[in-house]
Structure 1
Amino acid sequence: MKRSRFSEEQIIAILKSQENGVATADVCREHGISSATFYKWKAKFGGLEVSDARKLKALEDE
């Protein structure tokens, strides 16, 4: 599987910027991602904190 150029921390920061009122299209354009990628990340990481994402990653690696 292709490795993402964004870390979990960066993905969560991108999602939080959209939650704080920035338009989804603007967030995608600013970071150079597609809207499909954004919504896939939102489905996977939405509502998580950085520590939660690290735990999730550790569980997936096992």
Structure 2
Amino acid sequence: MSKIRWSNYMIKKKYNSEQIIRLLRQAEVILSHGEHVIRMCKQLGISDATYYKWRKEYGGMEISKVKRLKNLEVENMRLKRAIAELTLSNLILKDVAEGN
């Protein structure tokens, strides 16, 4: 049975939006000095897939814009939930009114 070498596996970390923006800025600086993406990711402790995903989602955004986007997403989810609850209540009331 082979031993698992934990040093070869990256431990999954959770980053908030501000940390992601800071890491992307650090990545830009490192890459501007001619470093390759793989080495830059290793320096920052992230995978290259994570880097590309973050760059696609947060690239060029400022922290204030990311906070606003996250707040809007939370508000949107809350409103969708409220609409679903009202729609369900409306359907129940229609069934009761029809005598079902």
TM class by shorter-chain length? Answer: 0.7 to 0.9
Higher-Rg structure is 2
Counterpart in the other structure of 1:10: 19
Identity of aligned residues (%): 41
Partner of 1:60: 73
Q: How many pairs align?
A: 59
1:47 to 52, 60, 72: 60
1:17 Cα deviation (Å)? 1.4
Q: Which has the higher helix share?
A: 2
Root-mean-square deviation (CA, aligned residues, Å) is: 1.6
- TM-score between the two structures when normalised by the length of structure 2: 0.52
Partner of 2:42: 29
User: What amino acid is the match of 1:50?
Assistant: I
Say which SS state the counterpart of residue 33 (structure 1) adopts: coil
Hey, which bits of structure 1, 4+ residues long, moved more than 6 A?
Answer: none
Structure 2, unmatched stretches of 5+, are 1-12, 76-100
* Aligned AA (2:17): E
Higher relative contact order (Cα pairs below 8 Å, separated by 6+ residues):
1
